[in-house]
């Protein structure tokens, strides 16, 4: 089925969501869903334990997903993304999860989203991201940001953050004394990697694994 065609029509997209939800439930079963094999490291760490995850910048329930394998192993969680299309896909595929359309930040403010398309891993609040990937045609949308603690009330076991350059700002907005995930998976770049490392070290997290642009930290016991 042509995804781009279905994204252009509301009725066809609803059909696509139904189709994809059934496809996800009955036919999509992979050994790994992550872009760089992060989910293999994550599931090996947790073993047979079944817990809860929070996925910020969740993008897609299957493609590049670091939580799909956990979900297939009966984990449940909260998925957050500023893309309505992404959240509709999660609502179709992960009906027991809490799926929230929101743009997270460290404060309440109005920000500009730079959208490559309705469903793209390159959508970002950072204009530099559009310039980095040389995206010539993009849409600008203004939205109000949300604070993490407003959306997630209960503790969880695994945290995934993939927010195209806003990762450090978002991890700093999460109270890691109140929320104590055993494992944190976060995307880094040359500007924020050292900052993220030092910040997580303050809360007794140590670097556990490197996978390309991803860093996985575990809570010291």
3-class SS letters over 172-212? HCCCCCCCCCCEEEEECCCCCHHHHHHHHHCCCEEEEEEEC
3-219 has CATH 3.40.50.150 classification? yes
Per-residue pLDDT, averaged over 115-122, amounts to: 72
Burial of 38 (0-12, 13-18, 19+ CB in 10 A): buried
Report which secondary-structure segment, H or E, holds 186. strand 183-187
Tell me what the pLDDT averaged over the chain comes to.
89
> Domain segments of the chain: what residues?
3-219
SS3 of 190, please?
A: coil
Lowest mean pLDDT among 40-44, 112-116, 129-133, 181-185: 129-133
Per-residue pLDDT, averaged over 81-102, amounts to: 93
Helices (H) and strands (E) in the chain, counts: 9, 10
With CA atoms as reference, report the closest residue to 163 among 129, 117, 205, 204.
129
Per-residue pLDDT, averaged over 64-88, amounts to: 95
Q: How confident is residue 22, by pLDDT bands cut at 50, 70 and 90?
A: confident
Q: How confident is residue 4, by pLDDT bands cut at 50, 70 and 90?
A: low
- The CA–CA distances, whole Å, from 63 to 78, 119, 211 equal 17, 11, 17
């Amino acid at each position: 089925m042509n995804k781009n065609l279905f994204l252009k029509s509301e009725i066809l997209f609803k059909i696509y969501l139904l189709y994809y939800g059934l496809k996800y439930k009955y036919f999509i079963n992979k050994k790994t869903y992550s872009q760089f094999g992060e989910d293999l490291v994550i599931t090996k760490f947790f073993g047979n334990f079944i817990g809860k995850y929070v996925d910020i910048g969740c993008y897609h329930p299957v493609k590049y997903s670091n939580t799909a394998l956990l979900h297939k192993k009966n984990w449940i969680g909260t998925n957050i993304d500023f893309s309505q299309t992404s959240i509709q896909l999660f609502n179709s595929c992960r009906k027991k999860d809490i799926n929230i359309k929101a743009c997270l930040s460290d404060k309440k403010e109005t920000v500009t989203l730079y959208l490559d398309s309705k469903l793209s891993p390159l959508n970002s609040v950072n204009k530099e991201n559009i310039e980095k990937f040389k995206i010539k045609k993009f849409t600008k949308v203004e939205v109000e940001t949300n604070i993490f603690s407003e959306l997630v009330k209960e503790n969880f076991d695994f945290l995934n953050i993939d927010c195209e350059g806003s990762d450090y700002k978002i991890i700093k907005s999460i109270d890691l004394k109140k929320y104590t995930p055993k494992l944190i998976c976060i995307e880094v770049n040359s500007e924020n990697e050292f900052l993220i490392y030092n910040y997580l070290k303050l809360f007794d997290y140590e670097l556990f694994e490197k996978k390309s642009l991803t860093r996985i930290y575990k809570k010291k016991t």
